[in-house]
């Protein structure tokens, strides 16, 4: 029976010199102490303590080490790779710890940890060590395949099981700078010229001469990058007959001349590894101290990578051909219920937070002139009354005026119809009072929206009559005030209701139109099949587009205000909390940013549910604050939109990039529509995660500071910490205060020197948002 570890070789070495050899299998080289210089056919690698390099199959390399280095080498055989990974022969791996793209650091840390675990298990050799070692090595390979895989060249695809072909390739790799001909190789390996030509083409997929030129071209690249030799010298040193043939082939493969390539990519002078001997100068080490050093050095790193089940996407962004668009961020209406809510200090504090962090313009109120807001005048024998019915509402309005906030008031038909004449008398007196006290410049920015829902028993003629009376009364006092209507609109029928169709005939008397778009309306939450939830994808954008087309067909073009909306949330408080939806909120607002003037938001859960206390759970709005005064996902999601500025230079379904005076900004999203009930199942959610490999072409060269904000269920969501810190004995102020203050998006800062195309990786959990502030520095 074969030893299950025969497919793996694990060794510790002190290396002075490893002479040129062609690698068999996949090799992990980890420097525990000291330094190494590794030279391959195309470049040099300098490794110091904790550095990691992967050598690919059939790759020619040689090694030179300093004194007292300690190196761990793990080799995994071609046979093992072929058996477990069918695409192995078509792939290669670019894994060098000093040159990993941003976002790959955790992968390198995890490979180091796994290497340490391999060693510990291998030395301990208990009854399950073979299973442990194989498990760790397979995890390493998953990370390598998942994060560092690239399309293989003809060298990686070569059949190393063909001993004669391996010998021929090995000879060509080591003697590429000499005179090599098909006839000479055929004679050396006792083959006819014709047979060798056919045999080589069949096995390698390209002709003998072209394969030889590719080897020489690969080695010449190293001279271009690391020496100051002339192009003619490089051509001669690498076996080309002359500089012209070298330059022609180079331009054919790389799309530019060797001169231009060197100007764009030159690194530094570098001496080749000198191997005067044909034997290795290294020795194997078996020492507990080495194992201890490896373990302590690596296991002190606490981060780990465990994203091997994620979806993977490539995102190329070409800034040399920007799609320049104006960035439009719609204003927000902050719904607070009745206006006297503004008398509460906690509500004022929340309003000011929203004003600072979001694009807040309007305070949305209902029942503006109710007896609660404007109490009836009390009979008194005073000649001059010492009280005013407007005392409370004036305090609220003064707060709004002081902070440059306008009123967006909903005038409900039901409020008006209870006592129509009294309503209009009270409204007239109130508007005149405000005009006298605050002046026209404040009042003319107000919006008053006539409201009656889709399902109504009120006749169209009656709704039309009352609206026109409201319009005439307000405009007669202050013509510049904005008076509009709420238009119910059916997504499926693509029209308004019969009771509201009159609005199409009175466009000249309508200043704006409010509408709603709620993804929950099209979902049956009892249906478990996830395919049904595709109905909610792009629902808000599609409904907005349908409504705009409907209005245009009826010759109406008015500003649109999304006064009631929601992302997919579930129909209980439980699923609403556990289903993180930050990216859904941001994406929906971005999708309609150019179509609407405002998007409404509820200030907090308490006010929202108090307004809808007749319903078990309100699903007609998005709240910004929780019961605890902590910020809900919508707050942070839309805060990123407020921070985004400049001109859009690239955009797509789940990303937007802008250019501004400081550099660039990039938002990445993983917008995921699922049944919210599934959000409690962590294993299911992991399959919805996404890793994006971003490559940005055409950024100006220079030094940049990268600020990366991560907003997901673990970085910013209240419910994660609430869940983890909960107790059957309840919470006190200390715990609640900690949850509120620590529930924020995370921040990381990186310095990047960008000389050409810049690439990095971003791992996004379900409905996560990553915001990159890419700032040019001038130090």
Looking at the structure, do residues 442 and 303 belong to the same domain, yes or no?
A: no
Q: Quick one: pLDDT band at residue 89, thresholds 50, 70, 90? A: confident
Handedness of CA 543, 549, 555, 558 (dihedral sign): positive
Looking at the structure, do residues 758 and 683 belong to the same domain, yes or no?
A: yes
Looking at the structure, do residues 372 and 517 belong to the same domain, yes or no?
A: yes
Looking at the structure, do residues 136 and 167 belong to the same domain, yes or no?
A: no
**Predicted confidence (pLDDT) at residue 574 exceeds the cutoff of 70:** no
With respect to residue 541, please indicate whether it lies within any of the assigned structural domains.
Answer: yes
Looking at the structure, do residues 360 and 344 belong to the same domain, yes or no?
A: yes
pLDDT of residue 381: 62
With respect to residue 758, please indicate whether it lies within any of the assigned structural domains.
Answer: yes
Bridge partners of 366, per DSSP, are 410
With respect to residue 355, please indicate whether it lies within any of the assigned structural domains.
Answer: yes
**Predicted confidence (pLDDT) at residue 247 exceeds the cutoff of 80:** yes
**Predicted confidence (pLDDT) at residue 2 exceeds the cutoff of 50:** no
Q: Which two tokens stand for residue 343?
A: 């008398």
pLDDT of residue 611: 79
| Exposure class string for 271-282: b at 16+ Cβ within 10 A, else e | eebebeeeebeb
Of 255, 277, 308, the last residue of a domain is: 308
Looking at the structure, do residues 654 and 710 belong to the same domain, yes or no?
A: yes
The answer to whether 42 and 94 have CB atoms below 8 angstroms apart is: no
Domain CATH number, residue 102: 2.60.120.10
With respect to residue 279, please indicate whether it lies within any of the assigned structural domains.
Answer: no
With respect to residue 287, please indicate whether it lies within any of the assigned structural domains.
Answer: no
pTM: 0.74
Domain CATH number, residue 455: 3.20.20.80
> pLDDT tens for residues 439-462?
999 999 999 999 998 888 899 999
With respect to residue 697, please indicate whether it lies within any of the assigned structural domains.
Answer: yes
Largest CA distance in the chain: 127
The answer to whether 336 and 342 have CB atoms below 8 angstroms apart is: yes
The arithmetic mean of pLDDT across residues 9-32, rounded, is 88
Looking at the structure, do residues 59 and 112 belong to the same domain, yes or no?
A: yes
Looking at the structure, do residues 501 and 511 belong to the same domain, yes or no?
A: yes
Q: How far is CA 774 from CA 106, 709, 771, in A?
A: 21, 11, 10
With respect to residue 274, please indicate whether it lies within any of the assigned structural domains.
Answer: no
Domain with 691 in it: 309-326+644-779
Q: How far is CA 158 from CA 75, 89, 206, 592, in A?
A: 18, 8, 11, 53
Domain CATH number, residue 181: 1.10.10.60
> Crossing angle for the helix pair 243-254 and 208-226, nearest 10 degrees?
90
Least confident of 212-226, 481-495, 613-627: 613-627
Of 212, 230, 265, the last residue of a domain is: 265
**Predicted confidence (pLDDT) at residue 564 exceeds the cutoff of 50:** yes
**Predicted confidence (pLDDT) at residue 156 exceeds the cutoff of 60:** no
Q: Tell me, what DSSP letter sits at residue 726?
A: -
pLDDT of residue 416: 96
Higher pLDDT: 471 or 150? It is 471
Looking at the structure, do residues 675 and 763 belong to the same domain, yes or no?
A: yes
Looking at the structure, do residues 402 and 545 belong to the same domain, yes or no?
A: yes
Q: How many helices (H) and strands (E) does the chain have?
A: 26, 29
pLDDT of residue 101: 82
Instruction: Indicate the number of domains in the chain.
Output: 4
Domain CATH number, residue 717: 2.60.40.1500
With respect to residue 273, please indicate whether it lies within any of the assigned structural domains.
Answer: no
Looking at the structure, do residues 82 and 176 belong to the same domain, yes or no?
A: no
Of 624, 643, 662, the last residue of a domain is: 643
Report the alpha-carbon distance of residue 584 to residue 401 in Å, rounded: 33
> pLDDT tens for residues 497-539?
999 999 999 999 999 999 999 888 777 766 655 556 777 888 9
Most confident of 14-23, 552-561, 672-681: 552-561
**Predicted confidence (pLDDT) at residue 363 exceeds the cutoff of 80:** yes
Looking at the structure, do residues 629 and 619 belong to the same domain, yes or no?
A: yes
């Amino acid at each position: 029976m074969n030893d299950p570890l025969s497919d793996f070789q694990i060794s510790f070495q002190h290396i002075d010199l490893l002479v040129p050899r062609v690698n068999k299998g996949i090799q992990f080289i980890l420097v525990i102490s000291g330094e190494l210089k590794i030279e391959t056919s195309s470049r040099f690698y300098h490794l110091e303590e904790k550095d990691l390099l992967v050598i690919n199959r059939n790759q020619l390399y040689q090694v030179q080490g300093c004194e007292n280095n300690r190196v761990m080498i793990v080799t995994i055989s071609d046979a093992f790779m072929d058996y477990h990974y069918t695409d192995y022969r078509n792939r290669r791996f670019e894994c060098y710890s000093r040159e990993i793209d941003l976002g790959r650091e955790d992968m390198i840390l995890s490979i180091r940890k796994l290497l340490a675990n391999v060693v510990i298990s291998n030395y301990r050799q208990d009854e399950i060590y073979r299973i442990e070692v194989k498990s760790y090595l397979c995890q390493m390979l998953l990370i390598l395949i998942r994060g560092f895989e690239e399309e293989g060249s003809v060298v990686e695809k070569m059949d190393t099981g063909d001993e004669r072909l391996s010998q021929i390739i090995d000879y060509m790799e080591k003697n590429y700078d000499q005179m090599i001909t098909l006839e000479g190789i055929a004679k050396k390996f006792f083959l006819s010229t014709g047979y060798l030509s056919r045999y080589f083409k069949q096995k390698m997929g390209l002709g003998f001469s072209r394969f030889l030129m590719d080897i020489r071209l690969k080695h010449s690249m190293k001279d271009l990058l690391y020496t100051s030799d002339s192009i003619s010298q490089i051509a001669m040193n690498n076996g080309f007959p002359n500089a012209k043939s070298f330059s022609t082939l180079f331009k054919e493969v790389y799309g530019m001349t060797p001169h231009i390539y060197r100007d764009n990519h030159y690194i530094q002078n570098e001496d080749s590894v000198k191997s005067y001997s044909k034997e290795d100068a290294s020795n194997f080490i078996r020492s507990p101290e080495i194992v201890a050093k490896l373990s302590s050095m690596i296991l002190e790193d606490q981060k780990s990578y465990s994203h091997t089940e994620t979806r993977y996407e490539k995102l190329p962004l070409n800034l040399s051909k920007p799609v320049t668009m104006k960035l439009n961020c719609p204003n927000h209406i902050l719904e607070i219920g009745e206006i006297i809510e503004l008398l509460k200090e906690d509500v004022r504090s929340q309003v000011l937070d929203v004003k600072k962090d979001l694009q807040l313009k309007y305070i949305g109120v209902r029942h503006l002139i109710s007896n609660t807001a404007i109490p009836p005048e009390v009979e008194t024998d005073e000649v001059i009354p010492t009280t005013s019915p407007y005392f409370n509402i004036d305090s609220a309005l003064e707060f709004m005026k002081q902070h440059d906030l306008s009123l967006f008031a909903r005038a409900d038909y039901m409020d008006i119809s209870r006592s129509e004449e009294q309503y209009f008398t009270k409204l007239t007196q109130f508007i005149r009072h405000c005009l006298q006290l605050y002046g026209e410049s404040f009042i003319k920015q107000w919006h008053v929206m006539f409201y009656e829902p889709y399902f109504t028993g009120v006749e169209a003629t009656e709704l039309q009559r009352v609206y026109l009376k409201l319009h005439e009364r307000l405009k007669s006092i202050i013509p510049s005030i904005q008076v509009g209507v709420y238009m119910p609109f059916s997504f499926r029928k693509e029209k308004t209701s019969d009771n509201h169709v009159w609005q199409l005939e009175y466009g000249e008397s309508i200043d704006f139109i409010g509408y709603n778009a709620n993804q929950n309306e099209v979902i049956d939450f009892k249906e478990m099949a996830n395919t049904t939830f595709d109905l909610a994808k792009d629902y808000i954008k599609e409904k907005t587009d349908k409504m705009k087309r409907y209005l245009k067909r009826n010759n109406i073009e008015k500003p649109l205000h999304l006064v009631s909306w929601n992302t997919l949330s579930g129909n209980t408080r439980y699923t609403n909390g556990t289903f993180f939806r930050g990216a859904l909120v941001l994406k929906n607002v971005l999708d309609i940013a150019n179509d609407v003037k405002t998007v409404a938001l509820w200030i907090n859960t308490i006010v929202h549910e108090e307004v809808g206390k007749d319903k078990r759970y309100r699903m007609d709005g998005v709240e910004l604050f929780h019961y605890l005064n902590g910020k809900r996902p919508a707050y942070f999601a839309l805060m990123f939109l407020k921070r985004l500025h400049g001109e859009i230079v690239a955009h797509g379904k789940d990303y937007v990039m802008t250019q501004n005076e400081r550099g660039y900004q990039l938002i990445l999203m993983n917008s995921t529509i699922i049944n919210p009930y599934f959000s409690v199942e962590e294993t299911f959610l992991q399959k919805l995660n996404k890793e994006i490999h971003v490559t940005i072409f055409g950024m100006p060269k220079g030094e940049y500071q990268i600020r990366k904000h991560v907003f997901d269920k673990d970085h910013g969501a209240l419910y994660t910490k609430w869940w983890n810190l909960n107790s059957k004995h309840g919470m006190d102020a200390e715990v609640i205060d900690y949850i509120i203050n620590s529930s924020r998006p995370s921040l990381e800062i990186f310095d990047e020197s960008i000389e050409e195309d810049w690439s990095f990786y971003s791992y996004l959990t379900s409905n996560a948002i990553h915001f990159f502030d890419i700032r040019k520095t001038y130090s």
